[in-house]
């Protein structure tokens, strides 16, 4: 059997190829292949370390689902096949190399899409589609059907703009475009991870890093799209008509979408809203966790998340509790009976509130007599906190408990509603019949 012919035309010799898989030399090849896989696993384990790297393209969530493991295994298999090509008939490695190559293609596409679009449901469908296409292509190649299908696709032709176009050329162009776009996404994901790496004082520049990452991804995708269109045989001059059509579409039907994208870049550029700020938008209060080019994600302290279009953040009134100063003023109200000497009580309460954890000493807490209520003298306690993202109700509860303990120690009862009923002379109260 001619080895070269088997590589080019595996279909006619499929039966002989399967028979050789059960020969004695195939067992030695299986042992060498297992050594290649084990060596690749060990190298990745040593490089990666014990900790998982879920956001890494090279390492993946586990050792074997990243790109580095199949790449090392493929490289080792190619090296071993080259070394033993003259010693024994190569059979197992002739099957293992295309399988590992297919695994590399799948891992690259899946990991890049997963890192570039981690929360997209469409990406999951694309990952499954890519896996099916690659494995079906491998089966067709091993069975010898792929060259026949490619030849048939090359026969299907039509004229487009004076140029002969075949289905084969379109498929090859589409595959080239996919490769270029995946590479562009890979580069943009690597640049974005570098830009968003926050250490020390660099956290204050997170918004600028975010806009740089978004602009870099958009630029790389644009360049990749242009290269992909050229590779697919589509003239770039035709994009002028397409650009005009897109402009008309934006002018009529995509105004809100375009406004949100522009607003996203404006927000990131002027830094009026930053990731980590505590804001209140349309009676929804929470912390900004992400600013994309189209929307902003605000997470409340209760765990709910609000997706706010960026245009709303530009055109509406937004309360930013963290823009210039993270300190937030809180207050609580308590009543003491009429006749109480309020001045020492006010001084004592201010000292007690100052000792509560999370209450700032500067600005210092203060107590004011704010109202002569129907049932008692109303005292309002004002105090500041510097970490509103950790909650406000909990610190207010601690302050109220401290006030309650202090009033109890001073022998002061909090008044409750009491009413005096005046009856006409001679009138008597009667109990209603049961």
Q: What was the pLDDT predicted at 149?
A: 83
CA dist 46 to 40, 192, 269, 316, 348, Å?
Answer: 10, 26, 42, 53, 62
Q: For 5-22, how does the pLDDT look when each residue is reduced to its tens digit (9 = 90+)?
A: 434 344 445 555 556 666
| Cα gap 433→424, rounded to integer Å | 22
| Cα gap 217→137, rounded to integer Å | 31
Q: What was the pLDDT predicted at 251?
A: 61
Q: Which residue has the tokens 């510097």?
A: 386
Written as six digits, the tokens of 211 are 């806009």
Cβ proximity of 262 and 252 under 8 Å = no
Residue 432 CB-density burial (10 A; 0-12 exposed, 13-18 middle, 19+ buried):
exposed
| Cα gap 339→330, rounded to integer Å | 28
Kindly give the parts of the chain with pLDDT less than 70.
Answer: 1-24, 49-55, 60-61, 118-121, 123, 159-165, 195-211, 228-254, 323-324, 427, 429, 433-434
Q: What was the pLDDT predicted at 277?
A: 82
């Amino acid at each position: 059997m001619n080895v070269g012919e088997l590589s080019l035309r595996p279909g006619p010799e499929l039966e002989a190829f399967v028979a050789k898989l059960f020969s004695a030399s195939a067992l030695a090849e299986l042992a060498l292949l297992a050594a290649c896989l084990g060596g690749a696993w060990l190298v990745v384990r040593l490089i990666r370390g014990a900790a998982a790297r879920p956001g890494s393209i090279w390492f993946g969530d586990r050792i074997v689902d990243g790109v580095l493991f199949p790449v090392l295994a493929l490289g080792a298999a190619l090296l071993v096949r080259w070394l033993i090509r003259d010693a024994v008939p190569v059979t197992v490695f002739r099957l293992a190399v295309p399988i590992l190559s297919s695994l590399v293609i799948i891992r690259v596409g899946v990991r890049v899409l997963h890192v570039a679009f981690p929360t997209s449901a469409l990406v999951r469908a694309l990952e499954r589609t890519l896996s099916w296409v690659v494995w079906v292509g491998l089966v067709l190649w091993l069975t010898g059907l792929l060259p026949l299908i490619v030849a048939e696709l090359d026969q299907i032709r039509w004229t487009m703009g004076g140029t002969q176009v075949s289905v084969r050329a379109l498929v090859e162009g589409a595959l080239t475009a996919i490769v270029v776009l995946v590479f562009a996404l890979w580069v943009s994901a690597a640049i974005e991870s570098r830009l968003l790496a926050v250490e020390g004082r660099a956290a204050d520049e997170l918004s600028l890093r975010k806009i740089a990452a978004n602009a870099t991804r958009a630029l790389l995708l644009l360049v990749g799209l242009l290269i992909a269109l050229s590779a697919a045989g589509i003239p770039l001059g035709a994009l002028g008509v397409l650009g005009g059509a897109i402009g008309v579409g934006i002018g009529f039907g995509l105004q809100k979408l375009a406004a949100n994208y522009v607003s996203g870049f404006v927000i990131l550029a002027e830094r009026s809203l930053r990731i980590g700020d505590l804001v209140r938008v349309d009676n929804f209060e929470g912390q900004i966790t992400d600013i994309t080019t189209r929307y902003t994600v605000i997470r409340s302290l209760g765990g709910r998340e609000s997706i706010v279009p960026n245009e709303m953040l530009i055109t509406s009134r937004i309360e930013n509790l963290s823009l210039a100063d993270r300190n937030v003023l809180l207050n609580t109200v308590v009543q003491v009976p009429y006749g109480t000497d309020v001045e020492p009580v006010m001084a004592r309460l201010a000292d007690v509130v100052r000792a509560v954890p999370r209450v700032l000493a500067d600005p210092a807490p203060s107590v004011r007599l704010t109202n002569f209520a129907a049932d008692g003298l109303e005292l309002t306690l004002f105090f500041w906190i510097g970490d509103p993202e950790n909650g406000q109700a909990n610190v207010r509860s601690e302050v109220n408990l401290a006030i309650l303990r202090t009033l109890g120690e001073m022998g002061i009862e909090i008044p409750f509603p009491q009413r005096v009923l005046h009856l006409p002379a001679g009138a008597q109260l009667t109990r209603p019949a049961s």
